[in-house]
Amino acid sequence: MPRILIVLIFLLLLPLPSATAEPGARLLDLGWTTQDGAVKIVAHLDRPVRFRATTTGGRLIVDLWPIVDPEPRELAVNAGGVGTVRQVTVERGIVRLSISLRGATRYKLFTRSDPYKLAVVVLPPWRATVPLPQSVAYHKVRVRTGRGWSDAHVVLVDMADPQIALRPVLGSGVIPGNEPTAAAATRSDALVAINGGFFTVSTGHPLGLLVIDGKLLSTPTGRRSVFAITADGQPVIQSFTFRGTVETDTGRQIPVSAVNRPPRAGGVAVYTPEYGPLTDWHMFNAIVRDGTVTGFLAGRAPIPEDGYVLSAASGEGRLITDRLVENQQLRLNLAISPAKIVHALGGGPRLVGDGEVSVPYRWESFGPGFSKRRTSRSAVGITAAGKVLLVTVEKSRRNTGMNLFELARLMRDLGAVQAMNLDGGGSSTLVVGGRVVNRAEGAQRGVASMLLVVRKPTE
């Protein structure tokens, strides 16, 4: 039988069980208020929803899901930093609030239960400033390079302070998603924020290892360096390996080739709730809720909040069709080594190792052009006392920028015994106390991840 006919027969037989769909909420009303330059937009709903937010093209975009029976709405606010608010449906079950912004703004999101509300607060930048504790120190230095001088902005974080923590966050809170570092800092009430690792600019997919609160969200890229926080709160810089499998209740195993990205050859992709409401388009998807296969779909599959989706490429559908059946129990194993990591953020290459300048860019699969080009740079380092350095270097008419070897020497001279490079160029941003302290190359670029210094929640 021709292969294409087999695929068509399989698609016709795929069930669309109700178990794959989460109960939807009704958006009852949309209103706004203003006070002291801030505008609060409130969505009233009859039950909790999932959401994501990002800024693009002078608009703040807030997506909510799952929503049933939405009605289009429009608010003419024209106050503070907000022009209009439009409520539209972008896909079935997904409602978008498109908020036009007037001038420079920041935003925060709040939820409230009983009755459930989602509030979007748009702030002027001066309302986003926060005081720094003594354990977080900032200073600027003027540094000589091989071609002149550059300003470097330096934050030193004392990890011994029990009231603060270092953690990565996702741009817009989801994958894929790009968000300016300053917006993420305000949204997360961060004391300090620096842009994170590399990402695909066109899609917002992070490149390299990303672990948040012990949950693997993106797999390592080769031997590239990773900044991580261990289970006992210690910062480390090292490389990691990944191995993933899906084990069925009959003992059969399916290799996992990707997490929150399209599947690679020989394995399935795992899409977690952090990916947003829907997977990418795949011919073969298995919906898993609470460890149980609840159904199969072709196309863009909804990702359940209490589970994940397994996806196979078109030429490897048998990884799903031959091994999985409805109501089957699965065990998902996503392991990185070394283990016992709470947070991790991939970058690279390494800049300093054991107190010495060490830039193994070829070993970490970076080209000489990337390493030798003078541009804006961001880096993270660890001192002998276990303190963390967050550093950005400017490039402008009066600043030459740095290549990786100059950046490595700077990190060593600042006291780092371990250090690694982060994404740079137009991504380089350092936010201290709610204020962007470095001059970015052009407009602030949205990035896929950030590293934040935050206050720990009080008990």
Would you list the DSSP string of 37-76? Answer: TEEEEEEEESS--EEEEEEETTEEEEEEESB-S---EEEE
Name residue, tokens 């810089």.
237
Domains and CATH numbers, the chain: 20-124 (2.60.40.3500), 136-240+340-455 (no CATH), 242-334 (no CATH)
Taken in order 190, 193, 199, 203, is the CA torsion positive or negative? positive
Give every CB contact of residue 18 below 8 A, 6+ residues apart in sequence.
none
pTM above 0.85, yes or no: yes
The rounded distance, in Å, linking the Cα atoms of 168 and 188 is 11
Beta partners for residue 381, in sequence order: 389, 419
Give every CB contact of residue 1 below 8 A, 6+ residues apart in sequence.
none
**Hey, what's the torsion of the CAs at 278, 95, 169, 162, to 10 degrees?**
-130
The rounded distance, in Å, linking the Cα atoms of 30 and 38 is 17
The rounded distance, in Å, linking the Cα atoms of 427 and 448 is 10
Whether 115 and 46 have beta carbons less than 8 Å apart is answered as yes
H-run or E-run covering 310: strand 307-312
The rounded distance, in Å, linking the Cα atoms of 324 and 246 is 10
Give every CB contact of residue 424 below 8 A, 6+ residues apart in sequence.
375, 376, 377, 378
Beta partners for residue 136, in sequence order: 157
pLDDT one digit per residue (tens) for the chain, 459 residues: 444 444 444 443 444 443 445 679 999 999 999 999 999 999 999 999 999 998 888 999 999 999 999 999 999 999 999 999 999 999 989 999 999 999 889 999 999 998 999 999 999 999 999 999 999 999 999 999 999 999 999 999 999 999 999 999 999 889 988 999 999 999 999 999 999 999 998 888 999 999 999 999 999 999 999 999 999 999 999 999 999 999 999 999 999 999 999 999 999 999 999 999 999 999 999 999 999 999 999 999 999 999 999 999 988 999 999 999 999 999 999 999 999 999 999 999 999 999 999 999 999 999 999 999 999 999 999 999 999 999 999 999 999 999 999 999 999 999 999 999 999 999 999 999 999 999 877 667 899 999 999 999 876
The predicted-structure confidence for 173-232, as pLDDT tens digits, reads as follows 899 889 999 999 999 999 999 999 999 988 889 999 999 999 999 999 999 999 999 999
Residue 66's identity, in one-letter code, is P
Closest C-alpha among 328, 329, 319, 245 to residue 10? 319
Whether 169 and 175 have beta carbons less than 8 Å apart is answered as no
The predicted-structure confidence for 81-134, as pLDDT tens digits, reads as follows 999 999 999 998 999 999 999 988 999 999 999 899 999 999 999 999 999 999
Q: What is the greatest pairwise CA distance in the chain?
A: 72
Alpha carbon of residue 133 to chain centroid: 26
Residue 197 backbone dihedrals phi, psi, to 5 degrees = -85, -175
